[in-house]
Amino acid sequence: MDEIYIKVKGKWVYYYRAVDKLSDVIDYYLTPKRDEAAAKAFFNKAISQNGLPEKVVIDGSKSNYAALDSMNV
């Protein structure tokens, strides 16, 4: 999972994406904010549509860690 700041139709948004082992995009999420709520919304969307992953690899974003911690089963 990673995110990048991009411009879409003249507005800046965060593009969250989940990729598989072959680097194919399996899900994405656009949001104006990069916070725990946005990361959690993305994880919920990706998991509900693709199932629970075996492993999640993220960057050092504290919001991503917080979202995963709050969802950890």
pLDDT tens for 23-57 read: 899 999 999 999 999 999 999 999 999 998 888 89
Q: What is the pTM of this model?
A: 0.83
Which tokens belong to 24? 């194919």
Which stretch of DSSP H or E encloses residue 28? strand 25-31
